[in-house]
Amino acid sequence: MLKTLKAYGFLLLVGGAVLAADQALKAWVQTHIPLGEVWTPIPSLPWFRITYWHNSGMAFGLGQAWGTALLILGAVYGIALFLAFPAIARNGWWLRWGLAIQWGGALGNLLDRIRHGSVVDFIAVGRFPVFNLADAAISISLLFLLLGEFLVNEPQEPASAESLSEPPSETVPHDL
């Protein structure tokens, strides 16, 4: 029980921090930058811009017509991860951090879809599509998950041909 409470505490702390930062930045952009306008906060870095934009689809503008489906998928994912997190979180540091960051990002975009019918994007880097902190968190979480997979998990030895051809050591009675 204590491990479950700790897992939920971790998820709410990390995911909540991502969600709060994402929503605070989006609120600032919405109140300070007109829709479609571009601001270059650091003139010596003209490739980094802040702009206020709405995206009714997913990353890179894909799925523009999937608004309601994306909202439902986001809600199902958020609830499922919340319910499964205590069991999943036992599988290591990388997974725990990655999923908590991802959950916060997913909730940030879900809240936008509920409140605005689309996601508020505001970070423009070079020619890359405009994105937001929630999108960045989801991308960073994937790095955590991949690093955890490659750095923590030992590759398993494939079964040899001999061990596959040997009969099982236990027998199961068939006359039950």
Q: Taking a C-beta distance cutoff of 8 angstroms, is the pair 105, 117 a contact?
A: no
38-39 and 119-125 as β-strands: parallel, antiparallel, unpaired?
Answer: unpaired
Which member of 22, 112, 121, 175 is catalytic? 121
112 labelled catalytic: no
Q: At what angle do helices 67-88 and 2-32 cross, to 10 degrees?
A: 150
**Rounded CA separation 144/59 (Å):** 19
- Identify whether the C-beta of residue 136 lies closer than 8 Å to the C-beta of residue 123: yes
* Bridge partners (DSSP) listed for residue 51: 38
Q: Which residue has the tokens 């919405």?
A: 30
How would DSSP label each residue in 72-104? HHHHHHHHHHHHHHHHHGGG-HHHHHHHHHHHH
121 is catalytic: yes
Q: Identify which of 98, 93, 104, 84 has the alpha carbon closest to the alpha carbon of residue 17.
A: 104
Pick the catalytic residue from 22, 112, 135, 175. Answer: 135
Closest to 50 (Cα-Cα) out of 132, 117, 113: 132
- Residues labelled as active-site residues: 121, 135
